[in-house]
Amino acid sequence: MVAIDFVGVTKSYGKRVVVDGMSFTVAPGECLGLLGPNGAGKSTITRLLLGIATPDAGKITVFGVPVPARARLARGRIGVVPQFDNLDHRFTVRENLLVFGRYFGMSKREVEAATPSLLEFARLEHKADARVAELSGGMKRRLTLARALINDPQLLVMDEPTTGLDPQARHLIWERLRSLLAQGKTILLTTHFMEEAERLCDRLCVLEQGRKIAEGRPHTLIDEQIGCQVVEVYGGNPHELRSLVNPYARRIELSGETLFCYAPDPEQVLMQLRGVAGLRLLQRPPNLEDVFLRLTGREMKD
Amino acid sequence: MTEGYMAAMPANAWNWVAVWRRNYLAWKKIALAAILGNLAEPMISLFALGFGLGIMIGRVEGTSYVAFLAAGMAAVSAMTSATYETIYSTFARMRGEHTWEAMLCTQLTLGDIVLGELAWAGTKSLLAGTAITLVAVTLGYAEWSSILYSLPIIALTGLAFASLAMIVTALAPNYDFLVFYQTLVLTPMLFLSGAVFPVSQMPGAFQRIASFLPLAHSVDLIRSVMLGRPAESLGLHTVTLCVYAVLPFFLSAALLRRRLMS
C-alpha cells in the first residue's frame, strides 16, 4: 500500500487555481520532496493531505484512508512540522508534549512514558522544564519535531522544516530526519532549499503554479535536465559575454546579474572569458538550482 | 459536502476535554491573580453601586437594592467573563498564537476545538459568577443554599454567551470588530435585561425586546434563586438559555469551518 496517493487533485481559491491536477505517490519509507518557490502550492498540498482543506476535484488517500472523508483517522498516523512555529509559548517543553499528546487521545501516563526518548531524540533532555520562550530557534524547531512524533506517526509532513535556521541548527535537523528515515518513517517534505532536497529526498516533485513540472530522483533530474558542467560568470556586460561564449556552451541562462553557461567542455568557455577584465568565474558541477532555472526560467531564491 | 460539515462537528463526546485541559493548564499558571480579580471586581461594584445608589434608591421589588443588584451582577459577570474569554482569548488562540492551527493537525476536529473552548469559557464564567454569589452570601444578601442552585444557572448562562460570542469570533476580521460587539450588543443588553433596574420600569416595547434577551432570562432565574423567591417560568428561562447555547454552536462551527478549513 502506498503512503500517500494524490490523483488529479485540484484546488482553487476564488479564480486562483492553487493546485492544478496534481498527481503523485509516496511509497512507505520514502522521502519525497515538493520543491517550488513560494506560491507554488506546497502548503496547500499539505493542508489537503491533512483534510484541513477540501479538494475541488481528485482523490487523496493516506495509507489507504480516504481524505478528507476520514481525515481524522489519517491524521492519527501523521506527524506535522509546520512552516511557522505554533508551539504553546506559555508552556514548558514537557507540557507542550503533554498537551499535544492529549489531542491524540493519549493519557498523561502514555505521554510521560514517551517523553524521555522524544527529548533525547530532539536533544532537549536538559531543557525539559524550560519554557518555550527561552528556547533558541533551532531548539524550538527540534521541539516541534519531537511534538510531531508524539503519536508515533508512520508519515511525517514537514513544511519547510529548516527555513529561518542557522546552518548549524539546520544540519542537526537534517541529521535527525535521516535517522527517522533509517527507522522506516515516510517523509513528505516541502522546501525551497535545493541543498535540503538534494540531501534528504529520495525523489522530488518540482512544482510551479500548482502544477508538477518534473519528477524524479535528485541526481537523475540533474543528469537528465543538465548533464554537463556549469560556469557561473559574475560582472561585465552579460549580453556581450553571452555572444562571446555562445559557440562553446550548450545553453546559457541569465538570472539577475549572473550568467550560467552549461558547457560539456567548460575549459573552452573559461578560456574565452579569461581575457575579459573584471569578471569572477566559477566552475562547478550542476545542481538542482540549475534544474529549476532550466525548467522555470528563473532562480529558486525569490 | 455533508462530509465537510461532519469534519466541523465534534468527533465524539470526550475529545473536547483535551482542549479544555490545555486552557486549564495555561490558566493554572496565573490562577491566583485570576481568582483575586474574580473576587475583587464584584466586591468593588457591589460596594460602589450597591451602597452608593442603594442609599438613594432604597428598596426595589421588596428587597434592598444591593441584594437586587447582587443577583443581577452574578448573571452579568457570567455573561462578560464568558464573552471576553471567547472574543479575546479564543480569538488569539485561533489567530495570533496559532494554537488552533496546531490542534487541527491532530485527532481533534474543529467541532472538538469549538466545544472545548466553549466549555472552558463556561468554566471561567462559573468561577466569576460563583465569586459574586459568595460575596453576596458572605455579606448576607443571599442564603448559603442559593449558591448550590445558582451554579448550574451561571454555567448555562456562560455557555450561552460563549456560544454567541463564538459567532462573533468566527466572523471578526480584527480586534476592532470585537469591540463593536461589546459596545453595541453587550452593554445595551446589560441595561435592558433587568440586571441593574427592574425590566418593569421600561416602556412596553423595551420590555418585549427584553423577553428575547438571554441575559434577561438568566437574571430572572438567578434572582429568584438568590432572593429565595418562587421561580416563575423556570422551564421557559432554562429552555431559552439552552437554545442560545446550542444553536450558535452549530452556526459558529459552520462559520469557522468556512474560515479555517476552506
Task: Find the mean pLDDT for residues B136-161.
Answer: 92
Contact B262 A151 (CB under 8 A): no
Calculate what percentage of chain B has a pLDDT beyond 70.
98
Mean pLDDT, chain B, rounded, equals 91
A270 is in which domain, residue-wise?
228-285
User: Which of A60, A68, A20, A62 shows the shortest CA–CA distance to A40?
Assistant: A20
Residue B23 within any structural domain of the chain: no
A95, closest residue in chain B (CA to CA): B25
Do A269 and A167 share a structural domain? Answer: no
Q: Which of B32-46, B62-76, B183-197 has the lowest mean pLDDT?
A: B32-46
Task: Find the mean pLDDT for residues B159-186.
Answer: 94
- Smallest Cα distance from B260 to chain A, Å: 8
pLDDT higher than threshold 60 for residue A301: no
Name which of B3, B98, B262 is nearest A86 (Cβ-Cβ).
Answer: B98
Residue B6 within any structural domain of the chain: no
* ipTM here: 0.92
Residue A293 within any structural domain of the chain: no
Mean pLDDT, chain A, rounded, equals 91
> DSSP alpha helices (H): ranges in chain A?
42-50, 71-75, 93-103, 108-121, 137-148, 167-182, 194-200, 218-225, 238-245, 266-274, 288-296
Grid cell 480516504 is found at A66
Name which of A69, A82, A95 is nearest B25 (Cβ-Cβ).
Answer: A95
**Of A222, A240, A266, the domain-final residue:** A222
Residue B26 within any structural domain of the chain: no
Name which of B11, B99, B260 is nearest A72 (Cβ-Cβ).
Answer: B11
- Smallest Cα distance from B125 to chain A, Å: 22
Name which of A54, A86, A151 is nearest B102 (Cβ-Cβ).
Answer: A86
Residue B182 burial by Cβ neighbours in a 10 Å radius (0-12, 13-18, 19+): middle
Number of folded domains in chain B? 1
Contacts of B19 in chain A (CB under 8 A): 103
Do A135 and A277 share a structural domain? Answer: no
pLDDT higher than threshold 90 for residue B23: yes
Do A194 and A152 share a structural domain? Answer: yes
Three-state SS letters, B167-218: HHHHHCCCHHHHHHHHHHHHHHHHHHCCCCCCHHHCCHHHHHHHCCCHHHHH
Higher-pLDDT residue of A106 and B47 is A106
* The three cell numbers locating residue A205: 516533485
CATH number (domain holding residue A65) = 3.40.50.300
For chain B, say whether A66 makes contact (Cβ under 8 Å). Answer: no
Contact B18 A103 (CB under 8 A): yes
Residue A279 within any structural domain of the chain: yes
pLDDT higher than threshold 50 for residue A101: yes
Name which of B22, B101, B109 is nearest A99 (Cβ-Cβ).
Answer: B22
Residue A296 within any structural domain of the chain: no
* The three cell numbers locating residue B62: 421588596
**Of A222, A243, A275, the domain-final residue:** A222
Residue B83 within any structural domain of the chain: yes
- Smallest Cα distance from B144 to chain A, Å: 37
Contact A13 B97 (CB under 8 A): no
Exposed e or buried b per residue across B120-132, where buried means at least 16 C-beta atoms within 10 angstroms of its C-beta: bbbbbbbbbbbbb
For chain B, say whether A153 makes contact (Cβ under 8 Å). Answer: no
E strand or H helix at A9: strand A4-13
Calculate what percentage of chain A has a pLDDT beyond 90.
67
Do A135 and A256 share a structural domain? Answer: no
Residue A29 within any structural domain of the chain: yes
Number of folded domains in chain A? 2
Contact A52 B261 (CB under 8 A): yes
Do A132 and A88 share a structural domain? Answer: yes
Contact A71 B7 (CB under 8 A): yes
CATH number (domain holding residue A251) = 3.30.70.330
Do A94 and A190 share a structural domain? Answer: yes
Residue B244 within any structural domain of the chain: yes
pTM of this prediction?
0.92
How does residue A75 score in pLDDT terms, banded at 50, 70 and 90? Answer: very high
- Smallest Cα distance from B152 to chain A, Å: 28
Residue-wise pLDDT for A10-28, tens only, equals 999 999 999 999 999 999 9
- Smallest Cα distance from B261 to chain A, Å: 5
pLDDT higher than threshold 80 for residue B4: no
B182 is in which domain, residue-wise?
31-260
Do A151 and A32 share a structural domain? Answer: yes
Window A:82-111, CB contacts with B under 8 Å? 82, 84-91, 95, 99-100, 102-105
> What pLDDT, on a 0 to 100 scale, did the predictor assign at position A299?
61
> What pLDDT, on a 0 to 100 scale, did the predictor assign at position A300?
56
Please tell me which of A279-288, B142-151, B215-224 the model is most confident about, judged by mean pLDDT.
B215-224
Do A128 and A58 share a structural domain? Answer: yes
Do A106 and A129 share a structural domain? Answer: yes
Residue B21 within any structural domain of the chain: no
B22, closest residue in chain A (CA to CA): A99
Do A232 and A118 share a structural domain? Answer: no
Interface test with B, best of A99, A104, A111 (most B CBs within 10 A): A99
Task: Find the mean pLDDT for residues B233-244.
Answer: 94
Contact A75 B105 (CB under 8 A): yes
* The three cell numbers locating residue A201: 529526498
Higher-pLDDT residue of A137 and B54 is A137
Calculate what percentage of chain A has a pLDDT beyond 70.
98
Contacts of A91 in chain B (CB under 8 A): 25-26
How does residue A295 score in pLDDT terms, banded at 50, 70 and 90? Answer: confident
Calculate what percentage of chain B has a pLDDT beyond 90.
69
Chain A to chain B, count of Cβ pairs less than 8 Å apart?
Answer: 72
Do A64 and A141 share a structural domain? Answer: yes
Contacts of A87 in chain B (CB under 8 A): 102
Q: Which of A44-53, A179-188, B35-44, B151-160 has the lowest mean pLDDT?
A: B35-44
Do A263 and A193 share a structural domain? Answer: no
Name which of B19, B22, B104 is nearest A52 (Cβ-Cβ).
Answer: B104
Strands A251-255 and A258-263: antiparallel
Residue B253 within any structural domain of the chain: yes
Residue-wise pLDDT for A177-235, tens only, equals 999 999 999 999 998 888 899 889 999 999 989 999 999 999 999 999 888 999 999 88
A11, closest residue in chain B (CA to CA): B262
Higher-pLDDT residue of B67 and B51 is B67
Name which of A13, A51, A89 is nearest B7 (Cβ-Cβ).
Answer: A51
How does residue A298 score in pLDDT terms, banded at 50, 70 and 90? Answer: low
**Of A204, A222, A240, the domain-final residue:** A222
Residue A292 within any structural domain of the chain: no
Contact A72 B260 (CB under 8 A): no
How does residue A302 score in pLDDT terms, banded at 50, 70 and 90? Answer: very low
DSSP states along A203-263: EEEEEETTEEEEEE-HHHHHHHHT-SEEEEEESS-HHHHHHHHGGG-SEEEEETTEEEEEE
Residue B2 within any structural domain of the chain: no
> What pLDDT, on a 0 to 100 scale, did the predictor assign at position A241?
84
